[in-house]
Chains A and B, each alone.
Chain A
């Protein structure tokens, strides 16, 4: 029988099928952080049970950690308490814990891949919706709730019905200054934030094959923003080259054995998906959002759509524009901004800092802009320094903060003030997401860099020098 990549991985992890119910799905690797795990550990305590396979769970602190002065005690008592709870829970259950200051500390979806926890063909879950990131490696990875975190700790399984399958194919070549972030925002703008709800997505076609692993992670990361459970890309040489020799990847004979399995991880020809969508790479331009959900995105040179051209409720649409203080038909180019945020599990990897640095090189940060540049992990931070990017950034008037989720969800002090506009490379522009009353414009690191040096929404292509053929 013809099988999709998703079928192959899902079916091989089903412990048991419940009649007229969900599948019991075995989870290979589980990531936990301080915010969604304490109540799960408390549940284990109340049931008087231990973590079944502690070696399959990895813990990091990222969501509410400060991004300056991490060597000092965490000031906010509630955050400090949550961090302490994770440390204690990890110790009690013998789970590897990479807390503040640890060389492997960073955002959970950045450190998974960079330490080789993320593997092709694996099932990976975490109490965080952007767990879909790990699908870039051909894993089935998705976010779960705290009750499910407790299930995984207790039994290494969760119970879920198998999602439907969708394939999104994009062929052709991307235009200059169009990054993986733009590809993802483009797809979401076409499908809406609920267009893939109930589905697990496979990304296929030239555009994804040519993408780096970092780019694939950005795309898979944003799968949840169109409602999909997760998204995945078949592993190839790039995938194997990326993971080889990382700390938690198989070595020696185990590697060879794993490669035999990984080489079978592709969608068989003539497999049938429940839904198929196709786009052309050439149609995509640098994107920016103008509203309060990630589906409200447009090509940067475009105007904000009129409410009568919008599918769905006009009242909800108008409420959204009112929050943003934008008018229908406004052009996005030229709008003044106040903050720039480079970072998050979406765009906090080395490639994102390379892109940002390439554009600000030789320029100066605009005086009206506050910029927060937050690496996804200490390893990313080290690479930024090693590659000389920090010097470029400093010369242009930018500083680097310490790793964490930071202003993406503003659980720590990195909050955008009410009414201010932030061009952010993160994943959500919901009302108040980056701080109460904050107004978020989601974009790529290049668009963020262009805004950072001009102080307004600017087409990065205006600032880039293109090599002529």
Chain B
């Protein structure tokens, strides 16, 4: 599925300083019943965001109007658990384009990159600095620069570089997906398959 190209993102960020945020929290299983990729943002962090009677939990960060922006900053081991891509869809659909953490679960990280959400892994020390910067001023802006592979706290100028392989970087910069690539090498796949019995 096509997604917006990702180059440079300059925006405020929403802090979620909790560790081991699992994909059941990001999108609970009971909201996985759609047959189309629509409306998942409404249920992002559903049970942290709403009471059982659907009234908002005021203390939760997404319900606090002072926090906004296209970057979600989470604690260590973000996205653990279920492989549901719906978690990445919910984050994208809500309006985030980048998730920052000091450590990501594998499948979640891959799912994000496949749909155009950039996972940025920073050092634990830098993550603390990001949380502190938002605490001091929720309007603090950050710059995610994919071509340069840097994440900058604009108020202080402090920056850290992040890793991403060249192939995925090109995909995100151009809005390509892996299926485009795979369909292009179909002949190679078909000749490989001939040597691979069922």
B-binding residues in A (CB < 8 A)? 13, 15-16, 18-22, 24, 26, 28-29, 35-36, 38-39, 42-43, 46-47, 49, 52-53, 55-56, 63-64, 76, 78-79, 81-82, 85, 127-129, 131, 143-148, 150-151, 154-161, 163, 193-194, 197-198, 224, 227, 229, 250, 254, 293, 312-313, 315-316, 319, 409-411, 418, 428, 430-433, 436-437
Complex contacts, A46 vs chain B, CB 8 Å: 1
12 A–B pairs (Cβ distance < 8 Å), ordered by A = A22-B167, A24-B182, A36-B84, A151-B178, A154-B182, A155-B179, A161-B165, A193-B77, A194-B80, A428-B24, A431-B24, A431-B25
Chain B interfacial positions (CB closer than 8 Å to A): 1, 17-20, 22, 24-25, 28-30, 32-37, 47, 52, 75-77, 80-86, 88, 103-107, 110-111, 114-115, 165-168, 177-179, 181-183, 185-186, 188-189, 192-193, 196-198
Partner of B189, one of A55, A76, A156: A156
Is B83 within 8 A of A129, CB to CB? yes
Contacting residues, chain A, for B29 (C-beta < 8 A): 63, 409-411, 433
Inter-subunit contact A129/B107 (CB<8 Å): yes
Q: Contact at A411–B85, with CB atoms within 8 Å?
A: no
* Least Cβ–Cβ distance between A58 and chain B, in angstroms: 11
**Residue pair B36, A194 in contact (C-beta under 8 Å):** no
Indicate if the CB atoms of A21 and B167 lie closer than 8 Å.
yes
Query: Which residues of A sit under 8 angstroms from B106, Cβ to Cβ?
Result: 163, 197-198, 227, 229
Smallest CB separation, A264 vs chain B (Å)? 16
Inter-chain CA distance A155–B37, complex, in Å, is 22
The answer on a CB contact under 8 Å between B81 and A428 is yes
Report yes or no: B82 in contact with A129, Cβ–Cβ below 8 A.
Answer: yes
Q: How far is the CB of B127 from chain A (nearest CB, A)?
A: 11
Among residues of B, the one whose C-beta sits closest to the C-beta of A257 is B197
- The CA-CA distance from A85 to B35 in the complex, in Å, is 7
- Contact status of A433 and B103, CB under 8 A, knowing A42-B35, A155-B183: no
**Chain A residues, CB < 8 A from B82:** 128-129, 409, 428
Cβ contacts under 8 Å, B114 to chain A: 145, 147-148
